[in-house]
Amino acid sequence: MRYRLAIAVILPLASVIWLNRGVDAAPEGRAAAKAANSSAGASNNPTSLAKLKALYRRPAKAEFPSDNPFSEAKAALGRKLFFDTALSGPRTHSCGTCHQPSLAWADGRARALGVNGQTLPLRTPTLVDVWSVPVLGWDGKFPDLESVAFTPILSPGNMGMPSAEEAVRRVNENPDYSPLFADAFDTPEITQRKIELALATFERTITSRDAPFDRWIKGDERAISRSAKRGFVLFNGKANCAACHSGPSFTDGSFHDIGSATDGDIGRGRMFPNSEKLRYAFKVPTLREVDRRAPYMHDGAVASLQDVIALYDKGGIDRPSRSDEIRPLHLTRREKNDLLAFLRTLTAKPDIKAPASAGAN
Ligand code: HEC
Ligand code: HEC
């Protein structure tokens, strides 16, 4: 009863927040940014610098939804499915072909390469901290992680599986799976829903790990350079990055036009045709592991982190849809270097637990 009541309260609230995300930055992101901006120049003020650092502390663990709770068995099954090429039509692609652990769970390409050598219109996003992303896809077309998997599986240019039934049949034909499904769920039957639940559970375990930045905010002054420390203050102050890249994963999950997209893809604008501000709006990506996954943006149009900083410094393309938070920054050369040094502290050492075969094709 009490549970139902909670849902009844949470659902309307959630839809308001979701709509907000469609139209503008999430309220908590704004609050954090405001807090951050008011501490511009905080480098000399230990109290406000400490407050600023606290905004970026990683949570102890990922959250799992109550209708798909974590279990070791489900995550292990999801991991096997994630790296199984049987889920693509010609058996050449697994999820891990594009979301490669060694490339921060992306693929290092400007645009993803699907089955039969087809180039997709979008760049593969990282899956690091994907558990915390409120709506998924560059344009936010997926409401939750469970709903993503069968889109790439069935998309002719992506994994090219002719039908969901064929995908389930492929999993069934491998005798290894039946005991794994029995462990992960009450019954050994293999269904599309169980494949979705297991994949999503595994993906929620792909969390960011301790980077030099995290060691610094926990108190190790030697973990990052002085230049990077100045860069952190700029990020939250003059450069205004934290207006959108706020919180432990450096994103507030909102959608904006940063004045970069130039081709026909209008991103979230497709879903909100009456909103001027959502034309060319794409999801604010996490900046975790950012140094390991060039090129950047939804279309891979920006080659390097230096080029990203140059784009923001210029203020992108000045057009009606451009976010009000984007404007020419007039950064000095030293400030650009400091910002770059800071961004590079967000990358942890490569994950040694990743299977060697992942993304081999
Ligand atoms: C051919 C490369 C490719 C393969 C294979 C692939 N993906 Fe992706 N993935 C992408 C691209 C490109 C996007 C962006 C799609 C969009 O925004 O509409 C994406 C987006 C995602 C997202 C959304 C992430 C976010 O932050 O919004 C998730 C989750 C995801 N993929 C999981 C999977 C799973 C699970 C599989 C296997 C069933 C898979 N992908 C297979 C390229 C690939
Ligand atoms: C108005 C919100 C906003 C502000 C302010 C902002 N960004 Fe972004 N950032 C975005 C969005 C949205 C994208 C994705 C755009 C796309 O895919 O076309 C992005 C993409 C990026 C990327 C590429 C990440 C990837 O995986 O492709 C980097 C790096 C980045 N921003 C760094 C910064 C820095 C540094 C600043 C400050 C100088 C900054 N951002 C300011 C919204 C913002």
CATH code, 256: 1.10.760.10
What's the pLDDT at 352?
56
The tokens describing 144, both together, are: 């939750």
Question: Are 238 and 165 in contact, with CB atoms under 8 Å apart?
Answer: no
Q: Which residue has the tokens 């889920």?
A: 87
99 Cβ below 6 A of ligand 1: yes
**Same domain for 218 and 340?**
yes
Number of structural domains the chain divides into = 2
Peptide linkage before 295 cis (omega within 30 of 0): yes
- DSSP strands (E only) in the chain: 255-256, 282-283
**Same domain for 221 and 296?**
yes
What's the pLDDT at 354?
52
pLDDT in tens, the chain (361 residues): 343 333 333 333 333 333 334 434 444 444 444 544 444 445 557 789 999 999 999 999 999 999 999 999 999 999 999 999 999 999 999 999 999 999 999 999 999 999 999 999 999 999 999 999 999 999 999 999 999 999 999 999 999 999 999 999 999 999 999 999 999 999 999 999 999 999 999 999 999 999 999 999 999 999 999 999 999 999 999 999 999 999 999 999 999 999 998 878 999 999 999 999 999 999 999 999 999 999 999 999 999 999 999 999 999 999 999 999 999 999 999 999 999 999 999 999 876 555 544 433 3
Evaluate whether residue 258 is within a structural domain. Answer: yes
Cα–Cα separations (whole angstroms), residue 276 to 9, 20, 138, 267, 320: 31, 15, 18, 12, 7
**Same domain for 115 and 155?**
yes
Q: What does the alpha-carbon distance between residue 14 and residue 300 come to, in Å, rounded to a whole number?
A: 32
What's the pLDDT at 262?
86
Evaluate whether residue 76 is within a structural domain. Answer: yes
Amino acid at 269: G
Please report which ligand is nearest the Cα atom of 316. 2
Burial class from Cβ neighbours inside 10 Å (0-12, 13-18, 19+) for residue 172 reads middle
Domain boundary, last residue among 176, 204, 232:
204
Q: Which atom of ligand 1 lies nearest, measured to the CA of 121?
A: 12
**Same domain for 172 and 288?**
no
**Same domain for 197 and 81?**
yes
What's the pLDDT at 111?
97
Residue 17 CA to ligand 1 centre (angstroms): 24
Q: Which residue has the tokens 């879903």?
A: 271
Residue 333: count other Cβ atoms within 10 Å of its Cβ. Answer: 7
Torsions phi, psi of 113, nearest 5? -110, 115
Evaluate whether residue 321 is within a structural domain. Answer: yes
The candidate with the shortest Cα–Cα distance to 321, out of 350, 280, 282, 289, is: 280
Q: Which atom of ligand 2 lies nearest, measured to the CA of 323?
A: 1
Q: What does the alpha-carbon distance between residue 38 and residue 48 come to, in Å, rounded to a whole number?
A: 9
Domain limits for position 318: 26-58+209-346
